[in-house]
Amino acid sequence: MTEKILAKHAGLASVSAGQLVTCRLDMVLANDITAPPAIKEFEKIGRPPFDNTKIALVPDHFTPNKDMKTADLTKTVRDFARQYNIVNYFEVGHDAGIEHVILPEKGLVGPGSLTIGADSHTCTYGAVNGFATGVGTTDLAVALATGEAWFKVPAAIQVVLTGKKPKNINGKDVILTLIGEIGVDGALYQSLEFAGPGVAELSMTDRFTIANMAIEAGGKNGIFPFDEKTKEYVEGRVKAPYEPVEPDADASYARVVEIDLSALKPVVAFPHLPGNTKRVADVGEIPIQQVVIGSCTNGRLEDLAIAAGILQGREVHPDVRCIIIPGSQQIYLEAMEKGYIRTFIEAGAAVSTPTCGPCMGGHMGILTAGERCVSTTNRNFRGRMGHVDSEVYLAGPHVAAASAVLGRIATPEEVK
């Protein structure tokens, strides 16, 4: 699938792993951290942006701005967007949110599309059968000016999914299990291409979560096939013409990994790597001080529905701060209409406006020394959420919500 998308965008009949190609881009993305230095480099080129409709600028990491420095960063992005009439500029309020939530939500990425973003989790958009990957500042600056970027075609790992997904399993359990099996460098500069009958078991939310964390296995991208669920999601949402891709029957893969969904159990990734995965049932008594449910990985409506189902009629443990962050304004509104926000507040959780927040230690939920957090975010590197002597345990919304109630790492089945 990845080779077909790159070949089409390079104007070639076919490409192969290791080949260097220059491709035209369908979408170029940056945020309040990565856009300002790219804009500085872009200005040296001396030409206007290549297409004001194919650039998305989303201040989301430090917003609403937490201090003067971050306000300056956002102003740089805002001024650039206004100067060049960038159509897809999304800031606080209105219809904004976290970049990797709102771009698919608004139909700005679609099947067969090619997207780069100055954020490593740009690979999220592989969930809708597109090629998407993160780049650095200089590549972004050149892309803003030319609408092109160069790539080394990645080899592909086929991840074959089989079996039925249990009710207490979500996409986070799937990807953490995979990373635990192959390692954080197991797919280094390779494409994780998902296949098999188990794909149909996964919701679009599951797929966004899995594709988002392909980078945590070292992957260049993660990509799902186009099926009825993808079609239902993109129809009426993606306005630009799109062409889904599927792998040839004789496609060549560097490796094949199989995961039986029916055998999966709730898991948690211990500090300080996403690959340090353990079954929750095996971890023993680990008290926690904070739970974060949200982020570009697990801040969608389905994630909030799972958390609300567990928190309904219960209370957050008195020793725990539970912070819940909807991924977009649209999700926030839908969660309000369905009563999830009331459930969270009545349970004793704090509900935030859409923002990346504490995910990368920037805002609204920073840990101090010795504190432990169960988080639905995507990274748990040392110091990721604050103090270098704090600990982040990655999990899905089932485990996060149960842990918030019991004050320790727990499964939903333990919540009485």
Residues 130 and 60 in one domain: yes
Query: Is the separation of the CB atoms in 160 and 197 below 8 Å?
Result: no
For residues 162 and 96, state if they share a domain: no
pLDDT at residue 74 in the model: 96
* Cα separation, 369 vs 352, whole angstroms: 23
In a domain, 244, yes or no: no
What is the Cα–Cα distance from 274 to 211, expressed in whole angstroms? 14
Determine the pLDDT at residue 95: 85
On the CB side of 234, CA atoms within 13 Å amount to 25
Tokens (6 digits) for 149: 């970027």
Query: What is residue 416's predicted lDDT score, i.e. its pLDDT?
Result: 82
Same domain? For 225 and 355 the reply is: no
Report yes or no on 383 lying in a domain.
yes
Backbone angles phi, psi at 49, to 5 degrees: -60, 150
The answer to whether the CB of 92 falls within 8 A of the CB of 63 is yes
pTM of the predicted model, to two decimals? 0.96
CATH number of 182's domain: 3.40.1060.10
Kindly give the parts of the chain with pLDDT less than 50. Answer: none
Q: Mark which of 136, 151, 166 sits at the end of a domain.
A: 151
Q: For residues 416 and 404, give the distance between their C-alpha atoms in angstroms, rounded to a whole number.
A: 13
Please indicate, yes or no, if residue 242 is contained in any of the structural domains: no
344, two tokens: 């969270």
With respect to residue 106, please indicate whether it lies within any of the assigned structural domains.
Answer: yes
* 70 domain residue, yes or no: yes
Q: Are residues 388 and 408 in the same domain?
A: yes
- The reply to whether 319 and 389 lie within a common domain is yes
Assess whether 1 and 115 both reside in one domain: yes
Contact 220, 190 (CB under 8 A): yes
A 10 A CB-CB count for 83 gives 11
With CA atoms as reference, report the closest residue to 304 among 330, 282, 331, 278. Answer: 331
Determine, yes or no, domain membership for 243: no
End-of-domain residue from the set 97, 119, 151: 151
Tell me, yes or no, whether 387 and 329 share the same domain: yes
Q: Do 2 and 146 sit in the same domain of this protein?
A: yes
Specify whether the CB–CB gap between 288 and 314 falls below 8 A. Answer: no
Q: Classify residue 116: in a domain, yes or no.
A: yes
Domain count, the chain: 3
**Do 302 and 165 sit in the same domain of this protein?**
no
Q: Which domain holds residue 48?
A: 1-151
C-alpha 107/C-alpha 57 separation (Å) is 15
Q: Are residues 296 and 410 in the same domain?
A: yes
| The pLDDT of residue 362 | 85
Q: Are residues 163 and 106 in the same domain?
A: no
For residue range 320-330, what is the model confidence (pLDDT) as tens digits? Answer: 999 999 999 99
Task: Answer whether residue 241 is part of any domain.
Answer: no
139 in the same domain as 256: no
What is the distance between the alpha carbons of residues 356 and 92, in angstroms, rounded to a whole number? 12
CATH code for position 8 = 3.30.499.10
Compute how many other C-beta atoms are within 10 angstroms of the C-beta atom of residue 185.
Answer: 11
Cα separation, 403 vs 288, whole angstroms = 8
Name the domain boundary from 263, 283, 303.
Answer: 263
Q: Which amino acid is at 412?
A: P
Q: What is the DSSP letter of 85?
A: T
Residues 194 and 222: beta-carbon distance below 8 Å: yes
